[in-house]
Structure 1
Amino acid sequence: MRKQIIPVLTILLVVAFSSSAFAHFGMLIPENSIISPKKKNAELQLSFSHPFELIGMNLVKPQKFSVFYEGKETNLLPTLKENKVMDHDSFKTEYKFKRPGMYTFFMEPTPYPEPAEDNYIIHYTKTVVSAFDEGEDWNKPLGVKTEIVPLTRPWGNYAGNVFQGIVLLDGKPAPFTRVEVEFYNKDAKLEAPYECMVTQEVLCDENGVFTFACPKAGWWGFAGLNDADYKIKGKDVELGAVLWIEMLPFKNK
């Protein structure tokens, strides 16, 4: 009887660890990070997932979804339509870029209960879009609960470029924050050599600054994780400052 119990326990432990090994990411992905005057409309998809492994989770309608442009915030929550990403509930919208400049899209989700970690997850997620190759003040914070403020321009980067950012929590740099990094393996063409390489990890320095070189063209997600100073229904809360950026390849003539 004892010989039968050990293999069963081993299987259960493997399943438990594998189910929680992948990092969670709030996702806010536009069609393109740079909008040309020829096509001023772009679709944005809002979801919650493990982006490299393409394992989706259901996203409840966010508490907030807006766009910041030239210091003005516009509520986009009424524009959201139900959608499916990775076969799970998500949302989408279409936005028309009328003027040149930098547009920062922001999502504050409804707290997500995670049984595997016995906590709640709130990922304050944003992405920046440049309309017509323009935009300034890309290092200006939005002033939300937690966020990544870029030190590298968050658009118009080549694959292989180094990206730097500061993790802010309550408006202040969060030193030694752990930042999880994942590539959006959208076409499911890539496989990590080892499971530990699905999610990359870096630590912020004493000033809340982190550095990461993105080796491949596509969308990269950064999640600076901290514990909230409050609980939800008696459970701990993970606060994620999430930023998505697109790395682009060189074009052949």
Structure 2
Amino acid sequence: MKRILSILSATALLLGVAATAWAHFGMVIPSKPMLGQGDKAVDLTISFSHPMEGKGMDMAKPKSFAVYVDGKPQDLLGALSETKVMEHKAWKANYAVKKPGVYIFAVEPQAYPEPAEDNYIIHYTKTVVAAFGDEDGWDADLGLKAEIIPLTRPFGNYAGNVFQGLVKFKGKPVAGCDVEVEMYNKDGKYEAPTEYMNTQVVKTDANGVFTFACPKAGWWGFAALNTDDQKIEGKEVEVGAVLWIYMNDFKTKK
């Protein structure tokens, strides 16, 4: 009986660990994915979270935060101020948009220690904001260590559209790479039927390209994961290339 109880206890412990092994996502969420006449600025919220489950993690001040316009970066690190996302430490900024263009916001975080996985996590995260009708340059390669290059325009899409992206790590496309996908369940209004469905998973093809159809309107994050050949304090480092896009509903005529 003692042996049976020990086995049951160990099983319960393992199940408990598995139940809390949520996917990690760097997050850069703008107040709007597309700016129109009358919009003068965009607010950005930066966090490290479990977007579908609504579980946050404390995020140290990023190592870098920049906006790229016409291929040129502008340092925005000094514009960050502390905030809370999912009751945990996060960051926010306001950026004035003065002319038409495609604005790509990118974050490199500090390495995050993850005791549950006995490793460190670094997610290079970006999002794309289009302003005043311009849409040139949305597929720009920023040259980040890990990056998803959108092959589908990353704004102005409907829920249900297929989205494609090219995964690059250290400048090269990555074949057979796992890409985790989650919706930002901001208000907690959705619940996955099973734990398997909190995080969707696809793989890149031989050319490093992945394809996914987003079924609901809202913010969707794609995290392409690779292991770096350099370690931190002897531990492996998960390097994620993360991209956030917004999917829209059709509007009903009034």
Q: TM-score, normalised by structure 2?
A: 0.97
Q: Distance in 2 between matches of 1:143 and 1:54?
A: 31
Three-state SS of the structure 2 residue aligned to 1:212 is strand
Q: Distance in 2 between matches of 1:230 and 1:204?
A: 23
Three-state SS of the structure 2 residue aligned to 1:188 is coil
Matched, 1:76 2:79: no
Amino acid paired to 2:25: F
Structure 1, unaligned runs of 5 or more? none
The aligned residue for residue 54 of structure 1 is 54
Matched, 1:149 2:185: no
Structure 2, unaligned runs of 5 or more? none
Contact 2:71 2:140 in 1 (8 A): no
CA-based RMSD of the aligned residues comes to 0.9
Task: Kindly state the Cα deviation for residue 11 of structure 1 after the two structures are TM-superposed.
Answer: 2.2
The aligned residue for residue 15 of structure 1 is 16
Contact 2:27 2:47 in 1 (8 A): yes
What does 1:11-160 align with in structure 2 at a 5 Å threshold?
Answer: 11-20=12-21, 22-160=22-160
The aligned residue for residue 225 of structure 1 is 225
Matched, 1:213 2:217: no
Amino acid paired to 1:14: L
Task: Kindly state the Cα deviation for residue 170 of structure 1 after the two structures are TM-superposed.
Answer: 1.0
Identity of aligned residues (%): 57
Three-state SS of the structure 2 residue aligned to 1:143 is coil
Q: Deviations over 1:142-180 (max 9, x none)?
A: 001010000000000011100000000111111111100
Task: Kindly state the Cα deviation for residue 3 of structure 1 after the two structures are TM-superposed.
Answer: 4.1
Task: Kindly state the Cα deviation for residue 39 of structure 1 after the two structures are TM-superposed.
Answer: 1.9
Q: Distance in 2 between matches of 1:82 and 1:219?
A: 22
Q: Distance in 2 between matches of 1:135 and 1:202?
A: 28
Number of positions where the alignment pairs a residue of Structure 1 with one of Structure 2:
252
The aligned residue for residue 182 of structure 1 is 182
Q: Deviations over 1:64-109 (max 9, x none)?
A: 0000001210000000010000000000011111110100000000
